[in-house]
Structure 1
């Protein structure tokens, strides 16, 4: 076999491997995270092979209150620095917001991000919820999220490199690495960062391939570096003051801490759990007693992660308590805290559930067991211990529903919290655990009105990330169990030993129960029954939807009359979503139609219905007002273009601004064109003429009918609405179907067809005449439709999607008349309003757009053959 033949044979195998990795990259990423956590857990277990649980507890108890007080103080200073990340980002994009709401938002975002991991996503969702209510556009919010994410990463690199450069000899002796190479690597990183700082001076732009970025100016970069350095310095001091006195100086420790934080962030394991500990133990294990080091790490987690999240919940409780007491909440801080209560309580439930699971595999102090043995039967203690672990899993599962504001999740979490509170006294006199659970129950009761979505928690299936998160929790519980009872020899008899002081059997049974229940939940989620495709829309459905359309403001909602889309009504029947299905994509067209109070619930229901069917939820051509609801439902938004809206109250052909349109109107009249409106009841009489114009237009343009977001010439559809026509003599040469509603807030057109013999300028004449007619009829706005890819951001840290869109807009004329379409609409001097499409998860955006294109074009044939 020749070398060429060998490479040809290997190519298909390589292609299949690449295709496999691309197809399952999402699942493989989560499996890799679980593997990383497992490896780190094994590393920690082996590194601490000579440490015993009792020694860790003793070391923890010996920590001075002075050290704890200093740790709390440094934690507060760290979060002050973190708040300045957001303030600096807002200054960078040129937006000013009140400091109070920004501080509350940033504090909550970091409290959740530090606990749940994926700071850019979990913290980003928090920022989107809050900042959208404070008036920031989606583009500005995306730039804030990008700024704080990259600022932390680059700042961490810079600070770590400087620390490593200064303390290289000491750091090398700790980690067992040559000091020369440490300094060489640090210098290389600093040179690259210095070059970026130099290139970006005065806010210069740089071109990286086809992406143009505006780098922060020198002042912004310097200020951000100081903020990052201060944040890392005080957060490192939180752990440093909890450690005993050693010969390791603070600078050396700071370098180790920064490395551990960086690796924890890169691992994407929630809060860097296991990864951070493994690095710290590996670096400091020879200099500090391992039992003391483990105790300090546990206390660090409590102070730096649990305490801020608890404070954020306190903010919510105070805000809700003031509202219940009918105290006027004038402060924006209170409004932001109330807005963020579902995600905060969700993170707290996840934390408490993990706490209950972990405590079920750790021994109860002998003093507590002595108290319980005096007046509580063994069977009650055993049952409370076993059930507490299951309640912990219940809280973990319910936390997902709390983030979605499900009323069923609220009930499950509340009951788990109440029973967990009671069992904390029956299985052990766990006052701290009971305090946290009681605090959680109070917070849940005060926030009852935030969880009004009438959806069953048990109808919700866990997504792959949640299943993997539960897997990480179980792996952590298993590691703790093996660590705590490493001196107990395993035997089958342990499962059947029931004694007051028999802690190992109790922990084994609790872990088994949680594992079985979580396995059942995972299997149910992964092997959920197939969802039947929804029934086609009926004439009755169209009539119900049309009645809703007539009573609201969105003229384009008249597309429901086409009958080519499914319709999902709200429980009250006052609202609906129209959608189509293409491939795996469930594509909703526009905002929910009808009662605005039901908007959030309609979005949630649509996303859940698509998910239950194994599909991908897509919202197409939605307005900016819907983006905060999309963020709540876990959808990622991308800009599609801009909608052109003409203000009819200010539209006036007099003067020089609209001179071109006035000339087009006068020229059309001179050419013999006559404009008129045919009411819907009279449309059937002219249907044959309209059909002839439509067929000649399709033939002339060598195209076919579209669908979904565009109407097609169907006689029943055309007859369901008024039609604007242009006559030349007695013959109709052009027409447009009108979208109107009874509120007269907005009007638009759908089908626009011109006969080949229609005079040039007929389109301008039709639009100007129609606008004049609608203005006389006292309509407020005329919707000219969307200009695709228009208005994409080219500035600073704009998303890659925007940069691709702006490039296509500038250079894609051979594929689509992007500039020409915008130029035509611009003649009317409209108000440009952005339109978006939002996708569940955001990872399938390109596939979702392909499905939208196929749905509009009627399949591949429609795309290829126009």
Structure 2
């Protein structure tokens, strides 16, 4: 006997596996035999007769029935003397119990999950002891119902069939008294030391759990229309459950179903009805709650991963949801309009029917067209991340849902619109912008989509007109139900256009501009304390807005900017404290982004390229800036032969170079203005990156003049760079009738010598040569190669090549400069914005061309 017992102990695991496999084989064999006798047509008929509201009620009851099981985990955490958040216990407990319902295996899966979720901050021994108490009491409610069922079977004499289950009922019924006594009188640390309050909580939780199971099963049958005798169903259900648990098959799948199928059939219910009943019960009590548990699990897992990786995963998920939401809004809107435009195509083409998410017959043309176009506009608002788009989008999706119901509701349509609504709600935090600024890029996209749909509708209407005679047979694809319906749709488009404009106006909100007017005190503070660059002085022209950056104590950096459409054109590098540049750029981008603008950084150094690249900006090389190294400058040598000749010629003609300092008399300003007007020859002056004739501007720095004994014939104003190494000028103008040939060379050479000898500067900034050495390599960026074509083509008009050659006469160094732009911008529109802004006439002034204009465009 001892050898037999020892043999069983050694082979216990193998015997368990053999037992489990045997049970599964028997169950599958019996189920296959039963399946042969089923009528699947009758089964489909049963499902089709169940009303949609009854199905929804089954799902609700199934979810509510699972709730009592959460009490196990609240009690477990009380035993472990832990106080995690209630929401955390609810979410994790739901997953544990719904997974255990499906997987089974005697509760071992639930024990493992509970140890993982709740046992991290407690000793392993204490966790195992607490889990043992929980696991033992989970079957107490079933045991109580087994005792109740045992008495029901023997009290009711009408159904002798159920009495055959009495061994299973009495066996299951004895479980609770034994466990209760062991917990009450036992001294074992795994069960005996349980407090009374915890004991009764576990018993109550288990009883409510199994009550929920019974209610879910019985209510499913009732909602199917089955005539249910509860006094017969309860004993059969409890006996089948006890047998299923004893089989240890995951979720009792098969053994329980087999017992219920045989038992309910014996009670006079058709096999097809029983199968449908069991399927719906498993769906709504097991799988739907488990699906919700998985959502909660991934939410918890996502929260853990998200906190570990600094919020990046959730941000990526929201970004993806936002993009998908935008795509779905555009797609749904387009399909709605198309379904009203070419209804015959959607009714005849299987592909279009499947492609269209709104599976409905167009009952009225107007709402289909209206909702379609509004969904597209809502998609634009969501794509632009405008806060004001949130509520209108929800309303439009809700109206689309109502329209789909009136037009013939389908479950697939409801699911699609529900998912779309969830995307809108989930990505709410992505909507942070205060206004919609309709960019040229967006106008192009939406114009092609909405304009194309409108034009298609008009063309099809004309094509269907009975007054138009066609040589060929009209394709059925373009047939329209009637001319009257088309006219209604055409009028709808006109009305919709007005409604769209109103919605866009609402999304635009009150236009907020970026930047402030010039505050000379703040600007002077930054320049004098922290320095500037060759473009800083342009701020005093007052033709641009200024963005100030304050580090918390004082203003340290400023940007010069102009607005064109949705683009904030930032002129040159920032001025001020270099160590604050990155923070200042981030502050500028953040504010610009909040108000739905896109920055474009114009004529920037490589230092700015490196900073802005970190912010996700693309760039192209826009040209090169020329510098003369003043200590090495000389007129001697073969290279300077031509310049030396021009210089001597002007000098011998009796002209002199002189630097005059402010303040300038009205007579001097008048003389300079006369030269400027003569040089402009009626052309209007431009601003932004160029200086223009302004007395206030000229009074701020010295002016170099070329004059003879009687009058000034040329001048150039100094442009302070607020550095100790670089000098430059801005306006450089001469009298075409009075200045001798070579005046410009004479002026340049004297400026080089003056800034070297009198100001001790190292470099003279000759300004930029646009598109110089841009896109010349086969491996250059596509945008730069396009610019290279502009360079060659533009040379016919602006002499870009001549400008580069002129500067090469003096330049020692060429430093590249760049245009940087957001990846949401199209380079073509960026260049158009720069071209228009840089060449826009200064209001109220006749425009000259400054030294920069001369350097950039004229030479």
Q: TM-score range by the shorter chain?
A: 0.3 to 0.5
Q: Over alpha carbons, which structure has the higher Rg?
A: 2
Q: Which has the higher contact order (CA 8 A, sep 6+)?
A: 1
Instruction: Give the TM-score normalised by structure 1.
Output: 0.43
Instruction: Give the TM-score normalised by structure 2.
Output: 0.43
